[in-house]
Chains A and B, each alone.
Chain A
């Protein structure tokens, strides 16, 4: 099973709202990632969690707040977003030990900020 699930599939929120994106995997992967992807662009890395600890933060604004409650779950809390934050948000996971370490992606959440 190489499935990463993400909810919701679509989200429309106002600039004053607080919402959360959720990601789950059951592949035993110990690295989990959040990416942001604008139309016709490659994914941009936002955060990496390794063994449930934040290991990479790509200077993301504080209105995005990641959380890794356990090894299977990853959340992205959103607050006071701007219209330019509208994008596809992708979650991914990978092994951390030996091997190819390829990342498996979820289907994404299409976020629109109004």
Chain B
């Protein structure tokens, strides 16, 4: 079974609209961390936001927020007021056994295109 599932291969969104990128995960470990990364066409993976499994509140970082629904095992990324520079590939990733295990499992990614 896939540990991280991103069901949207591609999305087109009008500039200034909000966008939600879906991510579901599968783990039996009670301790884990969830990450979102952005990869522009230049290739560099840019860390956006983190959610720990024991965090009580949804994470926010500027225009990025994470809609964490633990019971549903989902960790959707919300980008508010999208900008042209948000066009990129977005990867959801999970690290199980939060500390001491450095292995990240990535989803297949969602390619987001912002339309002017």
Which residues of A pack against B, CB within 8 Å?
31, 33, 40-43, 45, 48, 50, 55-56, 88, 90, 92, 94, 96-98, 100-108, 110
Chain B residue at minimal CB-CB distance from A98: B99
A26 to chain B, nearest CB (A): 17
In the assembled complex, B102 has its CB within 8 A of some CB on chain A: yes
B102 touches A56 (CB 8 A): yes
Contact of A42 among B47, B50, B99, B108 (CB under 8 A): B108
Residues of A within 8 A of B44 (CB): 105-108
Of the listed residues A43, A56, A96, the one surrounded by the most CB atoms of chain B closer than 10 A to its CB is A43
B60 to chain A, nearest CB (A): 14
A72 to chain B, nearest CB (A): 17
Residues of A within 8 A of B107 (CB): 42
Task: Classify the secondary structure of B's interface with A.
Answer: loop
A103 touches B104 (CB 8 A): yes
Within 8 A of A (CB), among B20-47: 33, 35, 37, 42-47
Inter-chain CA distance A46–B91, complex, in Å, is: 18
Bits for B40-63, please: 1 = Cβ < 8 Å to A, else 0: 001111110010100000000000
Residues of A within 8 A of B42 (CB): 107
Inter-chain CA distance A106–B39, complex, in Å, is: 11
